[in-house]
A and B are shown apart, each in its own frame.
Chain A
Amino acid sequence: MKGSLVARVLSSAWRQSPDPASFSLEELAEVSPLLLGSGAGSLGWHRVRNSPLGSSTLGLELQQAYRHHTLEAAIHERDIQAIFALLRSDGIEPVLVKGWSIARLYPEKGLRPYDDIDLAIPEDQFEAAEAIVREQKSSITTIDLHKGFQELDPRGEDDLFSDSQLVKLGDTDVRVSRPEDSLRVLCLHLLHHGAFRPLWLCDIALAVESRATDFDWDRCLGRNTRVADWVGCTIGLAHQLLGAEVEQSPVARRAKNLPRWLVPAVLKQWETPFALNHGPARHRAPMATYLRHPAGLYRDVRNRWPDPIEATISLGGPFNDWPRLPFQLGNCVARALRFLRRAPELLQEGKGQRAKG
């Protein structure tokens, strides 16, 4: 219920002129903490700013988030210029992915917050880039370096670097992925993280709607039919949940016909308070802790039960109507095996630490 309400509030919020607010103050109150907690407060504000809800206490709270993100964006932009200058002075040409590369497409810079600056670095320059970033302790923003594009997109990376493009940020030319690659990376990133952040789906809706007429869908979807279907389904989620316009695109048909489990899985994610149950806060402690202190293991194992999207993606499964349980079990087994392989090493580390202590 709350998940669908989040979707209703964010529907069309990425557009210059969003649809008029079609929800009550009570409904906004119900999802406002979820919006604020997941970084979509500004978009919530953009949706209600021209309605009577905009001047309500809740509206003003969302506006504060918008102001905050506007200033944050100004700080990040300064840092992006600085890090590009720094890396370039050492002959390293990074490609900025996610974050600013999508935030710049929003009608206002404060609408789309981002926490870190993701930079894809050619593999042979990665260590040098890492050393430079490590020295840059004064930087406010976290810089997240990616070794090539492998972790962002399983496709070969040569094209992704050579076909990237330069866009202006003040006086600086910032290298970003082509719109096709960017949309693909956004889709895969969202799926790998179980689509828990509604903001990511707004990004996809925006990227789809702002595509140029010569947008190369073949490049975006790629040759691997399964991955292409994942991308198509993600765009379909943006269409079904947020009202993204997908007509005139090769994924229009798929967008209207998603696997039965997919939309409920996303809505379930969205109704969970962001900071409590997603990402870093989901696991109370590393599993290795339970090797020595088994109490609480059962609860933590339950917390680690994967959502259907993450599980399917982790095992490279298809997005069809079959039940997701096998993938979820498979994901757990794979993680358990990985953990058991590392267990002796972890125990050894623990003993070493105790001895030192």
Chain B
Amino acid sequence: MNRVRLFLENRVVCTQSDKLSAEQAITHGRLARLSAVVSLLIVGMLLAPGAANAVTKTSNVVTGSWNTAGTWTPSGVPSATDDVIIATGHTISYDGGGSTILSLTTNGRHDLGGTMRNGTKQQLPVARSERLLIEKLPDEVLVYDLDRKRAHCLNSTAALIWNHCDGKTTVKDLVSILEKQSKGKVQEDVVWFGLNQLRTARLIDGPPAPAGKQRLSRRELVKKIGLAVAIPTIASILAPTASAALSCAHVGCVPCNAPCQCIGGNCQ
């Protein structure tokens, strides 16, 4: 039995990254260390106030959704005061959003908002859509971040990647999309390069790229793959602007906006 308990101030904060790291730990057989952690956590739990009221929720379906009450015995979606056990042979999918539970014990599998492939969990990037102004031009997409007051220009490759960052499309899928678009072979590094840039520009949410893919440089990429497909590029937009010649009234001189004054037909 793989037993994992994640604690934060007497409560398990069931974030995707936490669960991911827990699962990786299991996969790599770090049971000894985990047992020690579990022991400590059990002691902590016993000492913690409120722990006495904890309910243990155990999965009762072979495959089911975390957020369905019927998935659990006793019935109900696990809450902050619950210990959760995923029983042997059961696969429970977590559909995203935030959940807080007391502890999680996995005897089966849990899929936390991503796609489980070949036993490797991939958490997928999601394009940001809030507080962005987006202008689509024929060959590029312009994005203005209203919060950070930054403007970006995405070339067609970067825009294509960004448009498909929907939390469901994998890197391999993105490669296929780019290949279809460019009618040529595209390497996975191209997608990772684009995702890294999108992440730096804060246009996608999601975990950082795997260690080997974090520092891809444009030069390396061009050397490695040639120019079969346009390298995804996100450029900052900085352009000289016209001086603010806010013309005011030339007759009668209506007030200019503070702190300007209307002098000689111009706000000064």
Q: Which residues of A pack against B, CB within 8 Å? A: 36-39, 41, 61, 64-65, 67-72, 74-75, 78, 109-110, 113, 115-116, 130, 142-147, 150-152, 154, 189, 192-193, 197, 274-275, 278-283, 286, 304, 310, 314, 335
Contacts and interface: CB of A to CB of B under 8 A. Distances in A.
B250 to A, nearest CB: 4
A279 B252 contact: no
B135 A142 contact: no
Contact of B241 (A68, A130, A146, A279): A68
9 contacts: A38-B242, A115-B244, A142-B246, A146-B254, A147-B252, A192-B250, A274-B243, A280-B267, A304-B264
A282 B268 CA distance: 10
A278 B244 CA distance: 11
B144 A281 contact: no
B245 A280 contact: yes
B247 A150 contact: no
Contact of A280 (B238, B240, B254, B266): B266
A232 to B, nearest CB: 20
Contacts of B257: 142-144
B87 interface: no
Nearest to B250: A192
B64 to A, nearest CB: 43
Q: B137, B245, B251: which has the most chain A beta carbons within 10 Å? A: B245
A74 B239 contact: no
Given A67-B237, A67-B239, A115-B245, A74 B252 contact: no
A71 B245 contact: no
Interface residues of B, number: 36
Q: A113, A145, A279: which has the most chain B beta carbons within 10 Å? A: A279
Contacts of A61: 239
A68 B243 contact: no
A68 B247 contact: no
Interface string B230-242: 0000000111111
Contacts of B244: 115-116, 142, 280
B256 A71 contact: no
Contact of A147 (B237, B254, B267): B254
A71 B268 contact: no
Given A39-B242, A67-B142, A197-B245, A151 B252 contact: yes
B247 to A, nearest CB: 6
B184 to A, nearest CB: 23
Contact of A144 (B140, B256, B265): B256
B251 A151 contact: yes
A6 B135 CA distance: 29
B252 A71 contact: no
Contact of A70 (B135, B242, B243, B255): B135
B198 interface: no
Contacts of B251: 150-151, 154
Contacts of B238: 64, 68
B119 to A, nearest CB: 44
Nearest to A275: B243
B47 interface: no
B240 A75 contact: no
B235 to A, nearest CB: 9
A142 B240 CA distance: 18
Contacts of B153: 67
A144 B242 contact: no
A328 B153 CA distance: 48
B137 A70 contact: yes
Nearest to B144: A71
A279 B243 contact: yes
Given A147-B252, A280-B267, A115 B151 contact: no
Given A68-B239, A75-B133, A144 B250 contact: no
Contacts of A193: 247, 250, 265-266
Nearest to B138: A108
A283 B225 CA distance: 57
A71 B134 CA distance: 8
A171 B264 CA distance: 38
B245 A192 contact: no
A144 B243 contact: no
B233 to A, nearest CB: 13
In the A-B complex, the 8 residue pairs with the closest CB atoms: A151-B249, A39-B242, A68-B239, A279-B245, A275-B243, A64-B239, A192-B250, A65-B239
A147 B252 CA distance: 10
Contacts of A37: 240, 242-243
A100 B151 CA distance: 21
Contacts of B253: 151
A146 B249 contact: yes
Nearest to B267: A280
A286 B239 contact: no
